[in-house]
Structure 1
């Protein structure tokens, strides 16, 4: 599984600049302008897991607020972002902010009452260097721009943001392409002449499932967009997958945690209703506390590769940061008046079968059924660092196959959410193949625990063999409101 990267760009321009600065090196001013004031706190040394989790919670709140303010439409049905990357870039900008602007930024970062915020957040950067997460930062400075040495030193010491001259858009794009292993090219079309500072931040993750999916079992499945439409999608499947699965009545959703090697996990929240309704109620640390022990079950997970690019100015303005783009106080960066002209990011996410540790078996070896977690309707995900519980990536997926035309279902009132029920496929002879094994055609007759019958997918005549008419036995299938058998 790969969350290739989110690249975040903060552009700061000098107000009133009508000419190109002289082609000299950036001028670092020796003005002694103290940034972060931690005089009342001991911000040196190693920070505790509890302190990291407090910062992780603040990063989560930032990500949720942003998800609430980013549009979802048929043209852009999926949102993918890195709360960690955004927090690092805005925190670096906060080092140069003063008075009301600094307070607004700290408020948006949920850091107003967090002692040693910059030190603890910054300590996550070297911490992640020993994991599957890579964080890269760079500060581009326009030649001739007078920047204060305190801002440069604080940015470098806290967030490892190396200052380099802003020479050309080609050089910037080449750095972006290099740190993303070629996955994000031509990030910028041009650089406006009045831009004097660009804060770049990149987060890259490539993880290995602790239990991999067998590529030979991946097959076409159906993803239900709503009660009327669906799209075909490749489904990764496993008949016996160890999973932490929680049925949360408050969220009205199932919550599953897929473990990775390297102290990270992939959290999926699959609601019965609108996925956007999850955001005001979501609390990742609380969910992790309540996740039960792993249980072996059948799993269907879409195999997807999605891309997302977005200018964040409108969303940040909705979050109360509109003054950044008009007349902020950034006097900790320079004595010249400055404003933020853009906050841009790009990301890609790829869910695949990759992994180095196979499950004990990928075929059904008995006639008894196990629970099924099938991600076949809109869901929210988070890639979480298990120690700090900071979300490295978060996103909402409402259509994993945006390039496919939706297919109209014949049964608009059917149950499109398979989170609480089995949805085996049917062949042309009406036999139901067990999910995860299409070679032996074993039927699931007996059911463990509460003896609930598995449901087949809602019927739809335009889907060929992907959706077949319900059989009579499905009339007694488990409804989506029923709890998952323990």
Structure 2
């Protein structure tokens, strides 16, 4: 096991210095957890955030003794991701959706370090973290970051975290140390009353997402104490690029039944493919090593995306992932580009962590009398002939009816579909999305 991690770490160091390819496409996501004081209470209003600890490092190194990520954390993130996606669908079913379960989970895992009592229990249930200790969660997130980042010379994946604290507030040193040691968070003491404060935070987001997301904090309310941010940036090149000469206008049938002419990319080749009576699914890899893929799930003509989502959960996802096999085939896929933004408060409350947003919240591991005010999420995605910015999630599978290997499949993605970007070596779902109209 030690040899395996050592090899992964050495590969990481080598790839970090690999020559970056020219910009082809980028996928970025940012999550922010906003902490605020409840009622009229104050949090050591006269002391600095760092008064109880030595000056923090701007960027801490990874822990010296890291470990391979606990597979329980990856399983938890997958379950949480699909639950969260399902709740978002209830409020946004008629428009395109694109989220990063990885980004949201990391931001909330950092926050979880400061939760106590029934608030911690509620968050553990919502995030599917039961059975995992806080040290296990932290060490696994640290190891997962190492394995996920820079998986291939032609693929760039970076994960960044930061903590922004009001200079008038005291934060417990143990909490600060964990966010730095395990999440490599940039910790900053900021004057929240200064009009420039939101811009400073947003500049960090803009930098860490390579300009794809330029704002996550609109303004800072007077009772605001702390911002915990995560940013994920993905830039990858198809293992087999689409020929731009083959791109042409074809109809795309939106949910209402009407059609729109839209640029569609076409390609023949050998792909990992799976089909059953309800949907077709294909895996389109990035880079030479194909460690990360873009998955497309297309409901068949007599089904629709809504019926597919009724079967979309972590258990079925794992089943479907195990049933992909190499097949010759033809795929036609729409080019698309979109921004997505959502506030996750309601979805997280439905998932069971509503207490974290109330005056009953216990974040005593961070400071006194704190609660979450907002959890916001933004994403950007673009899919074109050279590469991807896209989210894909797995499909519905009741009866597996894969086509014979010697019979090429045809997959014409000309109607609403589900997609996901998955790290194949760890099983982590980086992004997932519902595309109902590529022109929206």
TM-score normalised per structure 1? 0.71
CA-to-aligned-CA distance 1:341-394 (integer Å, 9 cap, x gap): 1011110110011159xxxxxxxxxxxx94311111111111000111110001
Q: Which stretch has the larger CA shift, 273-282 or 307-316?
A: 273-282
Q: Give the match for residue 130 of structure 1.
A: 150
Q: Give the match for residue 302 of structure 1.
A: 334
The unaligned stretches of length 5 or more in structure 2 are 1-23, 55-63, 192-196, 389-406
Does residue 8 (structure 1) correspond to residue 34 (structure 2)? The answer is no
Map of 1:51-70 to 2, 5 A cutoff? 51-52=70-71, 54-70=72-88
Is the 1:20–1:194 contact (alpha carbons within 8 Å) kept by the matching residues of 2? no
Note closer, same or farther for the CA distance 1:196–1:260 as it changes in structure 2 (3 Å cut). Answer: same
Determine which structure has greater relative contact order: mean sequence separation of CA pairs < 8 Å that are 6+ residues apart, divided by chain length: 2
Deviation at 1:207, TM superposition (A): 1.0
Secondary structure of the corresponding residue to residue 322 of structure 2: helix
Q: Give the match for residue 154 of structure 1.
A: 178
Deviation at 1:277, TM superposition (A): 3.4
Is the 1:156–1:162 contact (alpha carbons within 8 Å) kept by the matching residues of 2? yes
Q: Give the match for residue 164 of structure 1.
A: 188
Q: Give the match for residue 366 of structure 1.
A: none
Secondary structure of the corresponding residue to residue 235 of structure 1: strand
Map of 1:1-400 to 2, 5 A cutoff? 2-17=25-40, 25-29=48-52, 45-47=66-68, 51-52=70-71, 54-71=72-89, 77-114=95-132, 116-131=136-151, 132-167=156-191, 168-226=197-255, 228-238=257-267, 240-249=268-277, 252-261=278-287, 262=289, 263-272=291-300, 273-282=303-312, 283-293=316-326, 295-327=327-359, 328-334=361-367, 336-354=368-386, 370-400=408-438
Deviation at 1:322, TM superposition (A): 1.3
Deviation at 1:104, TM superposition (A): 1.3
Is the 1:57–1:285 contact (alpha carbons within 8 Å) kept by the matching residues of 2? no
**Cα root mean square deviation, aligned:** 2.7
**Structure that is richer in helix per residue:** 2
Deviation at 1:234, TM superposition (A): 1.1
CA-to-aligned-CA distance 1:267-291 (integer Å, 9 cap, x gap): 1111232324334533333222111
Q: Which stretch has the larger CA shift, 263-272 or 74-83?
A: 74-83
Q: Which stretch has the larger CA shift, 304-313 or 153-162?
A: 153-162
Is the 2:43–2:170 contact (alpha carbons within 8 Å) kept by the matching residues of 1? no
Deviation at 1:102, TM superposition (A): 0.9
Secondary structure of the corresponding residue to residue 129 of structure 2: coil
CA-to-aligned-CA distance 1:134-193 (integer Å, 9 cap, x gap): 101100000021110111111112222221123411111211111122222233321112
Deviation at 1:259, TM superposition (A): 1.1
TM-score normalised per structure 2? 0.78
Structure 1 distance, partners of 2:211, 2:369, is: 36
